[in-house]
């Protein structure tokens, strides 16, 4: 990035390709992106909005499990103006530069790359998704212990107003399911749920409980989550809310279905369902989560075996067995009956293994940008992307 300033306007410009900009106008309290998606992407020559973080335009320079293939396309989005002033959020200027609130920066520039800024009154912490701990009832990390070491306190009127306004700004622009839920804006939702005064109020425990209720009861989309309680709330409030308030109906039914499958499986497989098995001329591949490759593992150096528990390792091993010499396998069943989702790169690998040309399509509902990226995978680990990687397309 390069930075220039003209009076009350500061401009960040990308310097690694086309000069996409972020313009901060402190006089009008507005942030303008000519192309938001192009401004925040990890590499200038990547797909505009790419589901696959592992993919790169430079992947051919080294051995890679993925290749972006012909048929990929993208459509750029509309210019984006964040009218922070309309939400009561001030952008400030002095002789040293222009200033955007830390939470606004975190919401619109960092969180989409799974990085967040956290402030507890004593320190600012940069952490990746999950960097404070493992969620509602998980163990805290070292960062988490630091974050929660802050003195408990009430929320000032100014901080309460800002926090609420920032939540509205982020939700209104970044939540892609508003239309599905019949929500015009977050302020309407908060008022209709009887939560606005509490979210703006002095009690962090009550504010956390109100936010938990909105996420799990009113949205209940099975993807949005209440990660952890505020640093100023009472200790382990999130776990307490989980035990008393629970989840919404959609999530509860989802869990009940999963439990039903677990009981049925336990009767048939007391020691657990094998990830790969053959019955006659049919191969069965089973995993309940799209788990990424463990850090530091290189399948080109050490090919996976039947002992692998990561999904890509399971798929590569299964492929080697299905396609082995004199293999009896004619049919392949992928059992996702109790799969709750997981890593996007891994899901694309599985799709590509079965279809040959696997693809992921994304649309940014905030800007209108959309992209479909087609991928091939080197599932036989020979360093090439060819017909020898497409054996499953010939099976039933």
Q: Which pLDDT does position 350 carry in this prediction?
A: 96
- CA-nearest of 272, 260, 278, 385 to 321 is 278
DSSP string, 35-89: SHHHHHSSSTTS-TT-S-SS--TTGGGS--SEEE-TT-EEE----EEE-GGGGT-
- Higher-confidence residue: 114 or 34? 34
Question: Percent of the chain scored above 90 by pLDDT?
Answer: 80
pLDDT at 48 over 90: no
Confidence class for position 53, pLDDT limits 50, 70, 90? low
Give the model confidence (pLDDT) of 289-307 as tens digits: 999 999 899 999 999 999 9
Task: Report the C-alpha gap between 228 and 118 in whole angstroms.
Answer: 12
Is the Cα torsion angle 25, 42, 290, 390 positive or negative in sign?
Answer: positive
The DSSP result for 80-140, as a single string, is EEE-GGGGT---EEETTEEE--HHHHIIIIIGGGTEEEEE-SS-EEEEETTTTBSSSSSPB
pLDDT for residue 134: 80
pLDDT value, residue 61: 44
Measure the CA–CA gap between 243 and 205, rounded to whole angstroms. Answer: 15
- pLDDT at residue 231, as a whole number: 95
Q: How far apart are CA 161 and CA 97, in angstroms?
A: 25
Q: Is the pLDDT score of 58 beyond 80?
A: no
Residue pair 137/242 in contact by the 8 Å Cβ criterion: yes
pLDDT the model gives residue 286? 96
Q: Is residue 95 a contact partner of residue 102, using CB atoms and an 8 Å limit?
A: no
Quote the strand ranges of 133-225, DSSP E: none
Please tell me whether the overall predicted TM-score, pTM, comes out greater than 0.85 for this model. yes
Give me the half-sphere count of Cα atoms (radius 13 Å) on the Cβ side of residue 217. Answer: 16
Hey, which residues does 342 pair with through a beta bridge?
290
> What proportion of the chain, given as a percentage, has pLDDT over 70?
97
Taking alpha carbons only, the member of 287, 329, 362 closest to residue 51 is 362
Residue 56 has pLDDT above 70, yes or no: no
User: Could you give the C-alpha distances from 320 to 285, 287, 304, 306, in angstroms and in order?
Assistant: 13, 17, 10, 11
**pLDDT the model gives residue 54:** 59
Residue 62 has pLDDT above 80, yes or no: no
52 or 367: which carries more pLDDT confidence?
367
Do 66 and 386 touch, CB atoms closer than 8 A?
no
Rounded distance between C-alpha atoms, residue 306 and residue 327, angstroms: 17
State the Cα–Cα distance between residues 256 and 271, nearest whole angstrom: 22
Q: Is the pLDDT of residue 396 over 90?
A: yes
In the predicted model, is pLDDT for residue 57 greater than 60?
A: no
**91 near 29, Cβ under 8 Å?**
yes
What pLDDT digit, counting tens, does each position of 92-148 carry? 999 899 999 999 999 999 998 889 999 999 999 999 988 999 878 888 999 999 999
Can you give the length of the chain in residues? Answer: 396
Q: What is the pLDDT of residues 189-235, one digit of tens each?
A: 999 999 999 999 999 999 999 999 999 999 999 889 998 999 999 99
Quote the mean pLDDT of the chain: 92
As a whole number of angstroms, the distance between CA 194 and CA 214 comes to: 10
Identify the pLDDT of residue 114.
87
Residue 209 to residue 215: CA distance in whole angstroms: 10
Q: What is the CA radius of gyration of the chain?
A: 24
Biggest distance spanned by C-alpha atoms of the chain: 76
């Amino acid at each position: 990035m390069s930075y220039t300033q003209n009076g009350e306007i500061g401009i960040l410009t990308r310097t690694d390709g086309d000069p996409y900009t972020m313009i901060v106008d402190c006089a009008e309290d507005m942030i303008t992106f000519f192309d938001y998606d192009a401004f925040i992407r990890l590499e200038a020559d990547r797909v505009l909005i790419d589901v696959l973080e592992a993919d790169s335009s430079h992947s051919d320079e080294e051995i890679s499990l993925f290749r972006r293939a012909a048929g990929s396309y993208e459509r750029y989005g509309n210019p984006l103006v964040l009218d922070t002033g309309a939400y009561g959020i001030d952008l400030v200027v002095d002789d040293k530069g222009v200033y955007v609130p830390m939470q606004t920066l975190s919401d619109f520039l960092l969180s989409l790359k799974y990085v967040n800024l956290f402030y507890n009154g004593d320190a600012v912490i940069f952490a990746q998704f999950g960097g404070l701990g493992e969620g509602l009832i998980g163990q805290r990390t070292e960062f988490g212990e630091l974050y929660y070491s802050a003195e408990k306190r009430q929320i000032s009127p100014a901080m309460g107003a800002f926090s609420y306004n920032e939540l509205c700004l982020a939700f209104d622009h970044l939540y892609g399911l508003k239309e599905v839920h019949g929500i015009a804006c977050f302020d309407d939702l908060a008022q209709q749920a009887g939560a606005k005064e509490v979210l703006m109020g002095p009690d962090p425990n009550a504010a956390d409980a109100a936010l938990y209720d909105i996420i799990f009861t009113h949205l209940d989309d099975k993807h949005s989550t209440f990660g952890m309680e505020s640093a100023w709330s009472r200790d382990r409030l999130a776990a307490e809310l989980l035990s008393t308030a629970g989840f919404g109906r959609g999530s509860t039914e989802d869990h009940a279905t999963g439990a039903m499958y677990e009981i049925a499986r336990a009767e048939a497989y007391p020691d657990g369902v094998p990830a790969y098995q053959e019955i006659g001329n049919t191969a069965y591949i089973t995993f309940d989560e799209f788990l990424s490759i463990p850090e530091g593992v290189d399948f080109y150096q050490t090919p996976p075996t039947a002992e692998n528990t990561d999904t890509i390792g399971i798929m590569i091993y299964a492929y080697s067995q299905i396609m082995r010499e004199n293999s009896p396998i004619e049919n392949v069943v992928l059992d996702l009956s109790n799969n709750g989702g997981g890593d996007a790169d891994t899901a694309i690998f599985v799709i590509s293994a079965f279809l040959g040309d696997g693809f992921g399509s994304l649309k940014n509902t905030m800007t209108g940008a959309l992209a479909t990226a087609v991928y091939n995978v080197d599932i036989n680990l020979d360093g090439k992307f060819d017909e020898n990687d497409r054996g499953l397309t010939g099976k039933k």
